Amino acid sequence: MATGVLTACNTPRYSESPQQEAGKFKNPAAKHKPGFAKTVQLIWQFIFNKPANTVPAQPIPVQALSRAALLAAPDRSLYRLGHSTMLLKLRGEFWLTDPVFSERASPVQWMGPQRFHQTPIGIADLPPVKGVILSHDHYDHLDYAAIMQLADKVEHFLTPLGVGDTLIKWGVPAAKVQQLDWWQSTSIAGLQLVATPSQHFSGRGLFDGNQTLWASWVIQDGDMRVFFSGDTGYFDGFKAIGEKYGPFDVTLMETGAYGQDWPDIHMQPEQTLQAHLDLRGKHLMPIHNGTFDLAMHAWQEPFDRIVTLAEQAGVAMSTPQMGEQLDLVQPQPGQRWWQRYAE
């Protein structure tokens, strides 16, 4: 049963959400605004002054997956498919986070950030999926083509407020969609899933900014708890989540696409580590890296920085290759595979 959840059959009344003000969703703290001139400068830098090392010089390793291997895998397994797309096997069922399978994270497939690697498995080869968990509506997290291919394969789509409306508009059956505000929860197939705060923004076009909500997620399977950060800057919400739902066995934490010019919507690696500690996490797995070129830093820099920081702090960390199985009960550290592919 859901707790205070807006199902697709309800008329959404987002104005009742504490997160909305004047028809727009907002963060608890005001977001840094670079201004028009700075925004133009950032766009210019992205187009004309990108360092060559923001993209790997050669294809990065991918461990191919098959439906048979997934069906035979033990429960409480996780597979990283790329960027923030995770495939979890819990209680014999499969769950996807932020499924992006397209070649580019972009409104069009002839331009925009291009994948560094193929996905370890295609949507057609996936086993039936119990649920898709979405953090927000940006193109590197909400992929129209993937959602259309998944619509018949997936039983449940869990979204922050407003994102479910987008899915229904695209043709996902309304009965499959649940939309949650922060701190609302739902139970499906023995799991409890909670939409928790994050510090970010939303929008897929020029005129729809912050019309949908963004969220992180708590995934509880009995005595095991996993945290999925989605996209977020660092804020005191991590401590609140950790106090209410921690400790977490594994935290899947955004570590990539950061920059000094957008300090409160993506975390620097130092902030990722602190957020993990705030959450009372046991094992840290850095995500939101290794697939798309979304910032000015070297593509492998997020891995190098977070590994060094975790070692200095004595924090256990896992860095599986794309497609490599991760045991959520006893996560293996993983090799520093990216170092062989860095310039």
C-alpha to C-alpha distance for 254 and 136, rounded to whole angstroms: 13
Q: What is the pLDDT of residue 274?
A: 98
pTM given for the model:
0.95
C-alpha to C-alpha distance for 310 and 110, rounded to whole angstroms: 38
User: Residue 46: inside a domain, yes or no?
Assistant: no
CATH code of the domain containing 243? 3.60.15.10
C-alpha to C-alpha distance for 316 and 313, rounded to whole angstroms: 9
C-alpha to C-alpha distance for 100 and 143, rounded to whole angstroms: 5
User: Residue 330: inside a domain, yes or no?
Assistant: yes
C-alpha to C-alpha distance for 319 and 271, rounded to whole angstroms: 18
For residue 185, give the H/E element and its range: strand 185-188
Contact 169/204 with Cβ under 8 angstroms?
no
For residue 240, give the H/E element and its range: helix 237-245
Half-sphere exposure (Cβ direction) of 38: Cα atoms closer than 13 Å: 7
C-alpha to C-alpha distance for 297 and 266, rounded to whole angstroms: 13
> Could you tell me the end-to-end alpha-carbon distance of the chain, in angstroms, rounded to an integer?
51
C-alpha to C-alpha distance for 216 and 186, rounded to whole angstroms: 14
Q: How far is CA 214 from the centre of its chain?
A: 11
Q: What is the pLDDT of residue 53?
A: 93
User: Residue 44: inside a domain, yes or no?
Assistant: no
φ/ψ of 233, rounded to 5, equals: -85, 175
User: Residue 51: inside a domain, yes or no?
Assistant: no
Q: What is the pLDDT of residue 117?
A: 96
User: Residue 259: inside a domain, yes or no?
Assistant: yes
User: Residue 135: inside a domain, yes or no?
Assistant: yes
* Domain assignment of residue 303, given as a range: 58-341
User: Residue 10: inside a domain, yes or no?
Assistant: no
Q: Exposure of 77 by Cβ count < 10 A (0-12 exposed, 13-18 middle, 19+ buried)?
A: middle
User: Residue 157: inside a domain, yes or no?
Assistant: yes
E strands, 91-153, are: 93-97, 129-133
pLDDT tens digits, the chain, 343 residues: what are they? 455 555 544 445 688 899 999 889 999 887 776 666 666 666 667 666 788 899 999 989 999 999 999 999 999 999 999 999 999 999 999 999 999 999 999 999 999 999 999 999 999 999 999 999 999 999 999 999 999 999 999 999 999 999 999 999 999 999 999 999 999 999 999 999 999 999 999 999 988 999 999 999 999 999 999 999 999 999 999 999 999 999 999 999 999 999 988 889 999 999 999 999 999 999 999 999 999 999 999 999 999 999 999 999 999 999 999 999 999 999 999 899 999 988 6
Contact 135/230 with Cβ under 8 angstroms?
yes
Residue ranges of alpha helices (H) inside 9-122 are 35-48, 67-72
Q: How many domains does the chain have?
A: 1
Query: Which residue(s) pair with 86 in the sheet?
Result: 80, 97
Q: Tell me how long the chain is.
A: 343
Q: What is the pLDDT of residue 262?
A: 86
